[in-house]
Structure 1
Amino acid sequence: MANGTAGNEFAYSPPWNSTTTKFKDDTSRIFTGPRTILTLLSTATACSGEILPIEAPSNHSVYSIDFYGPIVQCQGANSTVIPLINSLLKEYMAAPKSKALQHDSAYFGFVPAVNSTGDLVALSQPRYQEPSNGTNELWMTFQRYVFNETGHRVRTRAWQVCRLYNATYDLRLEWDHGVQSVTGSYTVYEEVGFPRDGPNEVSNMASHAYAAFMWALTDQLVGSFAWFRQENISDTNPSPGAAAQFGSIESPIRQNSVLGSVDLDVFFDFNGIYGLYVSDNETDMSAQRLQDKSLARNRTLAVLIEELSFNMTCSYNATRNVTRWNDVNRYGYIATSLFVPYALANLIAIMAVVLGMMSFLRDGTFPDKTFQDIANAASHPHIVPIICDSRAGFTAAE
Structure 2
Amino acid sequence: MPGVNSAPRRVLVFDTTLRDGEQAPGFSMDAHAKLKMAKALRDLGVDVIEAGFAAASPGDEEALRRIAGEVDGPILCSLSRAVESDVVAAHRALKSTTRRRIHIVLSTSPIHRAAKLNMSRAEVLATAVRIVQFARTYFDDVEFCAEDAIRTEIDFLGDVLEAVSQAGARTLNIPDTVGYSTPFEIGQIFKHLHAQIAPRFPDVVLSAHCHNDLGMAVANTLAAVANGAGQIEGAINGIGERAGNCALEEAVMALRTRADQFGVTTGVDTRKLLATSQLLSELTDCPVVRNKAIVGANAFAHEAGMHQHGMLADARTYEIMRPEDVGFDGTRLVLGKHSGRHALSQRARALGYDLTDNVIAQVFAMFKRRADQIGEVDDTELIALIEQVTDIRVGGGKNVVVN
Range into which the TM-score falls when normalised by the shorter chain: under 0.3
Q: Say which one has the larger Rg.
A: 1
- What TM-score comes out, normalization by structure 2 length? 0.21
- More helix per residue: 2
- More strand per residue: 1
- What TM-score comes out, normalization by structure 1 length? 0.21
**Structure having greater relative contact order (Cα 8 Å, sep ≥ 6):** 1
